[in-house]
Structure 1
């Protein structure tokens, strides 16, 4: 109980510090903090399907495009209400996620197949956006903040980003500790064993992908309104998906704090490097590479696993299907059949 109180207290302190940043940070660094919080939310949303369930999606830029480019074009180019546009994009993301699930999850395919198909779909999505005038085409969309979600000041944008990140991280925490979270991890660790004890793999993977897609779309809508200019090569490019995956891998896949640590470290680091050493093009990519190599060599489970390793009195994490060595070969508990 004391550990929970300490965790809650730490979270409240972090929220209070971040919420007060407009009082002691300049506009440039405040914008970095705001964008970082949005990417914490996006990475945490991807982690639900990619980290908890083990389905490595390279096509999450599809859902970012639906929530960002789609909503921006509906509001700025077609005069829709922003909240109706946001809900429409969220429903559209859920439908697209179900379609991908029907295409990929009805049969047991290698994880690499899912990654390659989602990457191909993301490329198709980018081509569709840049060739469609109704979506702003290659020139993008300008979405004024006063015609959106009320993000008409740096403080409002910061609180919107902070609220989005807290909500997505809280949902991840609840999922990880629910029965559904156990199904997610069982599917990730051994699909054959999970199916043998009655887990409906198609249903579990579909639920994870739909939750992740809807959350990604909602966060992307807020982020697009914050940026004002919605660039299709930023919101619909698979490069965005790869960046999010890098943040999750460095932070720690399948954990709640992993995406927070990964995005909270790498995104502001890249922005500061670009701002301070703009004449050295690609420097942030070199730093990314060095960080990833160091993490792979010295912290295979990411920064989250590294922190856990040094927590006093806490045993190292075990896989979901791990059992004590003195346990009989016959399982004494099974997951409830779906």
Structure 2
């Protein structure tokens, strides 16, 4: 059962106004800035999917590149090598990713891994997945796989260029963010937060820790795989060094942490701020002084974390609450 908080969010005119305004951006921006925002929405979706495990359940998973790679590389291989429609490939990849997520959650519970051990185990899974992808010719190996040209054929899982991809990613990012809201306002969300805060106390009061960890990881893995499939269709090239590398998970964790872990819209805020910032700095400063854009980006991230360790969203909410009495 979903609480009233979800329906209140769903009925918010601010939410729908923001979505409609964002949906109109392709009509006003050139392809360069639209590409940046499309990539930002990809990371909004990925960070929001990871938040279900890392933010709500407190399980800092670095295995999500495994799920991204499953959605991206496997669905592409099924299309290019076997001629399987990419819609079917999306479903097959998501099912396999969900199964892998459930297995990882079971291993965590079965061996009573601590937080650091869980991080290392998930990183090991991610590294093994990267090695498999780079060495398996069916998945393209180290050379990757090139998808057919995007002609806008919806049946063939094509978006029709950057505008179509932007709208698809916007819908996907908004849907996953709302799934976060729904989980936070459901019994599953309460159980996950109880497990995060004190797992032994949760077991003592009768919370089925294994079941809820497996549900959270499965949901997160399935959503991540779907985003991976959509992302590779937009890129038109399945690059194992991008889509199956643990580095992409580290970026996701960074965005979620800066935005606000465990909050429905915190990871989205982090990705929407940091991805465009990184792209703009690279475009403007990347050719001037080598490494300068990385340095400035790193300084910004460090300052944000030092100023607001709980993330930007709690800080913004605090500032809004302070202004309300003054306004009244």
TM-score of the superposition, structure 1-length normalised?
0.88
Counterparts of residues 224-243 of structure 1 (less than 5 Å): 224-243=232-251
Q: Are 2:265 and 1:257 aligned?
A: yes
CA distance in 2, matches of 1:284, 1:255: 29
CA distance in 2, matches of 1:174, 1:111: 26
Q: Which position in structure 2 is the counterpart of 1:115?
A: 119
Q: 1:60 to 1:284 in 2, by over 3 A?
A: farther
Alignment coverage as a number of residue pairs = 314
Q: Which position in structure 1 is the counterpart of 2:128?
A: 124
- TM-superposed deviation, 1:5: 7.6
- TM-superposed deviation, 1:78: 2.2
Q: Which position in structure 2 is the counterpart of 1:291?
A: 300
Q: 1:310 to 1:221 in 2, by over 3 A?
A: same
Identify the match of residue 317 of structure 2 among 285, 308, 325: 308
- TM-superposed deviation, 1:64: 0.2
Give the secondary-structure state (helix, strand or coil) at the position aligned to 1:128. helix
Detail structure 1 runs of 4+ shifted over 4 Å in the superposition: 3-7
Q: Which position in structure 2 is the counterpart of 1:191?
A: 199
CA distance in 2, matches of 1:221, 1:65: 9
* More displaced 10-residue stretch of structure 1: 290-299 or 144-153: 144-153
- TM-superposed deviation, 1:113: 0.5
Contact 1:308–1:314 (CA under 8 A) maintained in structure 2: no
Q: Which position in structure 1 is the counterpart of 2:77?
A: 73
Q: 1:242 to 1:9 in 2, by over 3 A?
A: same
**Superposition CA RMSD, Å:** 2.0
Structure 1 residues 139-167: Cα deviation after superposition (integer angstroms, max 9, x where no partner): 11111234741212222111100110011
CA distance in 2, matches of 1:80, 1:6: 36
- TM-superposed deviation, 1:313: 6.6
CA distance in 2, matches of 1:25, 1:105: 48
Unaligned runs of 5+ in 1: 316-338
Structure 1 residues 5-60: Cα deviation after superposition (integer angstroms, max 9, x where no partner): 89722211221122111211001001111111111000000000000000000110
Unaligned runs of 5+ in 2: none
Q: Which position in structure 1 is the counterpart of 2:56?
A: 52
Q: Which position in structure 1 is the counterpart of 2:163?
A: 155
Q: Which position in structure 2 is the counterpart of 1:278?
A: 286
Q: Which position in structure 1 is the counterpart of 2:226?
A: 218
